[in-house]
Structure 1
């Protein structure tokens, strides 16, 4: 019976998935490791002996560790307030707090640079701009750490908020009956139960900051605070004879740090795990009483400072003719928006390219993830191990920074494909494949969780009735996990639509993405054009999130990720 299954549709699909996983996850990273190791220890020693690499290693570790702590404190505090207290307008606050996560990091950097610099159109209009010629406060080590923390706090917020809504309430209710005040309840019951989640949130913020390219590039380069992703980009731009070897060695260092961080997080979280009894229940509803208006005002001020201020400054810069000119009724102009929307063909091309690649990546990953999750939950031990291995590979590639993935795909596809002699280098196809590798785990997580909750008797009953593998998948498995698949696809689309880290090394003329176009405008000194395109991108992102949020009210629970 098992042999018949493996020789049928189930086995063919499994074999196809193994080939796809090998091509996406194993081959590029194996080639990367091969180039780095193939040069022998001399290449590593040479890299480590150069001044830039050890300094970049330390800067990457330092900025990631400290910014992850900032993200942990900020994201956890917001999640605890919205998840446990009787704050009004929770849905609106949650939506607004998650917007920075969907805004590209380099757009975030540009917005904050426009908000606080001496040439800020907004601050000049208000008459509070720093003196012209003074050093920008964000062009520093502290600026990189601060902005990385702001960028990744929503990640921690989402993880902790989800965990709060799945915790049993028995211990908390017992503590409240015994007279425990909210502060004591928080530190003696809730935070210890959340320890594995907090560790996971910190690790997620750490790995995300380690691979972040946009913020360290725009803020760190002027401050001579170079991280490993920025160093890889600089080495590629140098076009030296050993550029691929240098990139492979540096990228391998980043990959080792990222994987080591994830492994340490898993080990440490396992030691902090607490066994819970009882099903998830509605979260606590702690009454804030008289301080509720103060807490709500505090949340509003946080949103004002981290979202409204930089976006307003970004729009102000986009509406002036030249960077450094104050925004007044006499200087306001829409020429920058007209330039990027109607005169620069690269803008329309970038939006079309990003939309197409993000949609194809989201749909493809969602479909493949459904089958991977199906095999990872299979009853047969051998099949389940194969599915689990593919899941582990997806998790590992997500932990590896996007710029490292880019280097690996350059090494894998810089030559024409064998047999068909077709080159995908310098095309949208290589960007799409890199997206499939880098973002696969984003959709796989919710789909795997939904698949593990399915009753196996449904599939067994259909098999007994004579339904084949594909019929069972189409009539039973896929309809039941469709909300989770839709949620994963939405997350992949929003992540891929505005990203710059993966495509920074893979784009070429005619194959620009939104992220690379904005970055190139800013890097080339066209600040007002970069601000205008970033403003258009933010508007598009917010409108898309609002549309999805509206549709989520009519969709099954779980389709829209932030509507928990």
Structure 2
């Protein structure tokens, strides 16, 4: 369990970072200086000024990370299944591939539970954001607001160590393993070979998988850009009830885990009309 938590944590914390970093840069430096001049400590300034203004982005990133962890299949499947640790995503998959008389019924129930948890998370996000303060400037401030001084070497060393342990070393290990003739051999020059790459890259199934992945990602990105831009433009230009309802409808697929949405599509379009199976 701790391994799953650790790997999910290092996989999803960049989402919170990407959501938060620009908002922190937009918070006016003058507000921090005014608070300090008025006698506020650095902690009180952070708690009463910086954190409330950055809360929308932190909560938004946290909710995306929550959904990503809730719907994650790969990490629990690789680390949890061998240790007999079931999660909803892997359990739904096991029910579906069982093809029993009640497999899809059970998968539908589990999907409703998973979707309910996701929607509850969306409701909690709304509760946290309804009274949040908005950032009062759009200017990005890239200059440092706190000088580490003598602590810089220690802080930077700890950060580099963290990135090395969580990202650099595992990637190097995987790269070296891909060149080994067989798993378990020592990392010695005589044990390295390009035969693994030759076998994989000359396999028709591998080439098909690569092109299919690229095609799916590209087409999905184009559709997302077109549809998302149109809705965003209409939302800014118009604020009538129809647009607000459309905005709410957009957040439903975003709030539902991908596996739940996929199963819902299967159930809805498997045979909506007798004899028609789109």
TM-score of the superposition, structure 1-length normalised? Answer: 0.46
Q: 1:169 and 1:368, CA in 2 relative to 1: closer, same or farther beyond 3 A?
A: same
Q: 1:418 and 1:158, CA in 2 relative to 1: closer, same or farther beyond 3 A?
A: farther
What do residues 10-43 of structure 1 show as CA deviations (whole Å, max 9, x unaligned)? xxxxxxxxxxxxxxxxxxxxxxxxxxxxxxxxxx
Equivalent pair of 1:207/1:258 in contact (CA under 8 Å): yes
Q: Secondary structure at the match of 1:377?
A: helix
Q: Secondary structure at the match of 2:169?
A: helix
Equivalent pair of 2:92/2:107 in contact (CA under 8 Å): yes
Q: How many correspondences in the alignment?
A: 277
What do residues 259-293 of structure 1 show as CA deviations (whole Å, max 9, x unaligned)? 1111111112224x135555545255222222223
Q: How far apart are the structure 1 equivalents of 2:139 and 2:168?
A: 36
Q: How far apart are the structure 1 equivalents of 2:258 and 2:135?
A: 36
Say which of 182, 196, 212 aligns to 1:353: 212
Equivalent pair of 2:23/2:135 in contact (CA under 8 Å): no
Q: Secondary structure at the match of 2:89?
A: helix
Q: Does residue 208 of the first structure (1) align with residue 68 of the second (2)?
A: yes
Q: Which residue of 2 aligns with 1:299?
A: 159
How far did residue 404 of structure 1 move? 1.0
Q: How far apart are the structure 2 equivalents of 1:193 and 1:315?
A: 42
> 5+ unaligned residues in a row in structure 1: which ranges?
1-140, 424-564
Q: How far apart are the structure 2 equivalents of 1:330 and 1:283?
A: 49
Q: How far apart are the structure 2 equivalents of 1:413 and 1:203?
A: 29
Q: Which residue of 2 aligns with 1:414?
A: 270
What do residues 291-340 of structure 1 show as CA deviations (whole Å, max 9, x unaligned)? 22322222222221111111111112212222222221121122221111
What do residues 86-135 of structure 1 show as CA deviations (whole Å, max 9, x unaligned)? xxxxxxxxxxxxxxxxxxxxxxxxxxxxxxxxxxxxxxxxxxxxxxxxxx
Q: Does residue 319 of the first structure (1) align with residue 141 of the second (2)?
A: no
Q: Which residue of 2 aligns with 1:391?
A: 247
Q: Which runs of 4+ in 1 moved over 6 A?
A: 416-419
Q: Which residue of 1 aligns with 2:89?
A: 229
Say which of 96, 106, 122 aligns to 1:246: 106
How far did residue 194 of structure 1 move? 2.5
Q: How far apart are the structure 2 equivalents of 1:221 and 1:312?
A: 26
Q: How far apart are the structure 2 equivalents of 1:186 and 1:313?
A: 40
Equivalent pair of 1:211/1:403 in contact (CA under 8 Å): yes
How far did residue 371 of structure 1 move? 2.1
Q: Which residue of 2 aligns with 1:370?
A: 229
Q: How far apart are the structure 1 equivalents of 2:137 and 2:216?
A: 43
Q: Which residue of 1 aligns with 2:121?
A: 261
Equivalent pair of 2:20/2:57 in contact (CA under 8 Å): yes
Say which of 143, 162, 165 aligns to 2:25: 165
How far did residue 377 of structure 1 move? 2.9
Say which of 398, 403, 417 aligns to 2:259: 403
How far did residue 165 of structure 1 move? 2.0
Equivalent pair of 1:375/1:386 in contact (CA under 8 Å): no
Q: 1:278 and 1:353, CA in 2 relative to 1: closer, same or farther beyond 3 A?
A: closer
Q: How far apart are the structure 1 equivalents of 2:129 and 2:110?
A: 29
Q: Which residue of 1 aligns with 2:51?
A: 191
Q: How far apart are the structure 2 equivalents of 1:255 and 1:292?
A: 45
After TM superposition, the structure 1 = structure 2 runs for residues 493-512 of structure 1, keeping only pairs within 5 Å, are none
How far did residue 156 of structure 1 move? 0.6
Say which of 75, 79, 93 aligns to 1:219: 79
Q: How far apart are the structure 2 equivalents of 1:357 and 1:417?
A: 28
Q: How far apart are the structure 2 equivalents of 1:367 and 1:202?
A: 26
Backbone CA RMSD of aligned residues: 2.5
Q: Secondary structure at the match of 2:86?
A: coil
